[in-house]
A and B are shown apart, each in its own frame.
Chain A
Amino acid sequence: MAVTGILLALFLIAHMLGNLKVFTGETSFDHYAHWLRDIGKPLLPGVWFLWILRAVLVVAVVAHIVSATVLARRARAARPVRYAHRKKINGSYAARTMRWGGVIILLFVIYHLLDLTTGTLNPVGNESKPYGNVVADFAPERWYVTLFYTLAIVTVGFHLRHGAFSAFRSLGQQTPRGERTARTAALIFAVLLCAGYLVVPFAVLTGLVS
């Protein structure tokens, strides 16, 4: 869980930084998007690097889901009879919503790929004009897309808040002081990442990016 989670979190950081290029204008953003397809060009032919990256991400996602399923099944088997009276949670809300949060994120990722990678669900869906796709996606009349996007990103934030801390712990974070640092770092990381992702649709919604 920890290793695949860290891989996916690194991808999220890179993806967020890429998204923020939308503020540098249409030409720059489209240029960046096209460059993504050509990374490693002299060494690797065409879109090879992109496909290698996609393969790594798919393996990470599948391994992440498989480990989560194993843990969920073990948890279910470990408590065959439920409590009649189950109290409010003592731990964090984020920790208790990891599993269903993960399912929501998976559904969002599928939608997101159909929307902005294949263009199937995008109103423009023009592969050569990513900037136009983004602007059309979050247009004010498509408020429900922005709403779903916001919900998904907030879910990712909660997932990361517990996930980042939990990854540190699984990889051997062992002091009480380090625990406080790890929890704070996870919270700051989750908030920054949420903000970085949400600023794009809201900039489109308010007309800052058009």
Chain B
Amino acid sequence: MNLTLRIWRQKGPEDKGRMVTYPVDDVSPDMSFLEMLDVLNERLILAGEDPVAFDHDCREGICGMCGLMINGDAHGPQRGTTACQLHMRQFTDGETIDIEPWRASAFPVVKDLVVNRSAFDKIIAAGGYITAPTGSAPEAHSTPVAKANADAAFESAACIGCGACVAACPNGSGMLFTAAKLTQLSLLPQGQPERYTRVIGMVDAHDEAGFGGCTNAGECTPACPKGIPLNTIGRLNRDYLAATAKGAGNTPGS
């Protein structure tokens, strides 16, 4: 396959950045999208040019490092797939592909396609954990959990924190991420003691990080490589309403 890539190049956080066109020939349809970028980078290095910086780690869709806006789709055209697991057979020969970084003020560009997602860490630090030391995994049957709750919590826990929800959201909101990280705990017994302080803390941290507000537009779930359902945000809203009604923002000991 012969492709034309239009890639966002930005030397550093202060650089203005621009789209640069690169022709890439002899691409195998069996390559992953990142392997195709590797091929481009090898050629750029041989030609003495600066290679394109992009995030990646496990390359098997579970670490959440890779994240590219491919032709305006977060993680590319295939649903439920991270960019690293996207294969070039999803594209046609001679196609022009636009590759951009996630666009959000909370995710400033570090270089080229690499963005700083530590805003997500701030949300987690504001309550995305349980304080009690749990030790090793306990016997599963010692704490009964309703099957439906266990399944829904597991669905939320599948979030890899890649940031595709923010990238796809017309409001630049990180609410799907926040809701996933919140409700994986609020559905389980271990998460109950800090349930209402957690929701206020995490939503406040989300807003302070500069993310936009959720308007239930529904662009995030189709972009999510793990298919976190939209109703997760409803669970967050319900907890938030309950928490504000209880005045749970200042529970002693939190």
Closest residue of chain A to B167, judged by CB? A83
Is A75 among interface residues, defined by CB-CB distance under 8 A? Answer: yes
- Whether A95 contacts B212 in the complex (CB less than 8 A), given A85-B72, A179-B234, comes out as no
Contacts of A128 in B (CB 8 A): none
Counting contact residues on chain B (CB < 8 A from A), the size range is: 35 or more
Contacting A at CB under 8 A, from B172-215, are 172-173, 210-213, 215
Q: How far is the CA of A90 from the CA of B224 in the complex (A)?
A: 12
| A44 at interface, CB cutoff 8 A | no
By a CB distance below 8 angstroms, the chain B residues around A165 are 216
User: Is there a chain B Cβ closer than 8 Å to A84's Cβ?
Assistant: yes
Interface residues in A, total, Cβ within 8 A: 37
A174 touches B105 (CB 8 A): no
Interface: B223 (CB within 8 A): yes
- Asked if A77 and B19 sit within 8 Å, CB to CB, the answer is no
A87 partner, pick from B72, B105, B217, B231, beta carbons under 8 A: B72
What separation, in Å, do the CA atoms of A200 and B82 have in the docked complex?
Answer: 52
Chain A: which residue is nearest B8 at the CB level? Answer: A84
Residue from A77, A80, A84 in contact with B98 in the complex, judged by beta carbons closer than 8 Å: A84
Q: B235 at interface (Cβ–Cβ under 8 A)?
A: yes
Let me know if B27 is at the binding interface, CB within 8 A. Answer: no
Instruction: Say whether B219 faces chain A, with CB atoms less than 8 Å apart.
Output: yes
B144 to chain A, nearest CB (A): 21
Q: B103: which of A79, A89, A171 is its contact (CB, 8 Å)?
A: A79
Q: Which of A69-102 contact B (CB under 8 A)?
A: 70-71, 74-75, 77-92, 95-96, 98
Indicate if the CB atoms of B170 and A174 lie closer than 8 Å.
no
- Name B195-254 residues within 8 Å CB distance of A: 210-213, 215-219, 222-223, 229-231, 233-235, 237-238, 241
B175 to chain A, nearest CB (A): 11
- CB B83 to nearest CB in A, in angstroms, measures 15
Residues of A within 8 A of B8 (CB): 84
Contact B72 A75 (CB under 8 A): no
Q: Report the separation of the CA atoms of residues A81 and B100 in the bound assembly, to the nearest whole angstrom.
A: 11
Residue B114 CB within 8 A of the other chain: no
List, in ascending order, chain B residues with CB within 8 A of A88's CB: 72
CB–CB A78/B235 < 8 A: no
> B69 at the A/B interface (Cβ < 8 Å)?
yes
Q: Assess whether B219 is in contact with A90, with CB atoms less than 8 Å apart.
A: yes
Asked if A25 CB lies within 8 Å of chain B CBs, one says no
On whether the beta carbons of A80 and B105 are closer than 8 Å, the reply is yes
Report yes or no: B234 in contact with A84, Cβ–Cβ below 8 A: no
Flag whether B65 is at the interface (Cβ < 8 A).
no
Chain A residues with CB under 8 Å of B241's CB are 171-172
In the bound complex, CA of A71 to CA of B217 (Å): 12
**Which residues of B are in contact with A by a Cβ distance under 8 Å?**
6, 8, 17, 19, 69, 71-73, 98, 100, 103-106, 168, 170-173, 210-213, 215-219, 222-223, 229-231, 233-235, 237-238, 241
Residue positions of A touching B, CB distance < 8 A: 1, 70-71, 74-75, 77-92, 95-96, 98, 162, 165-166, 169-176, 178-179
**7 cross-chain pairs, A with B, having the tightest CB-CB distances, nearest first:** A78-B172, A87-B72, A172-B238, A78-B212, A91-B218, A174-B234, A75-B171
Q: Would you give 9 A-B contacts (Cβ < 8 Å), ordered by A?
A: A71-B171, A75-B215, A77-B210, A78-B106, A89-B219, A91-B222, A173-B234, A179-B231, A179-B234
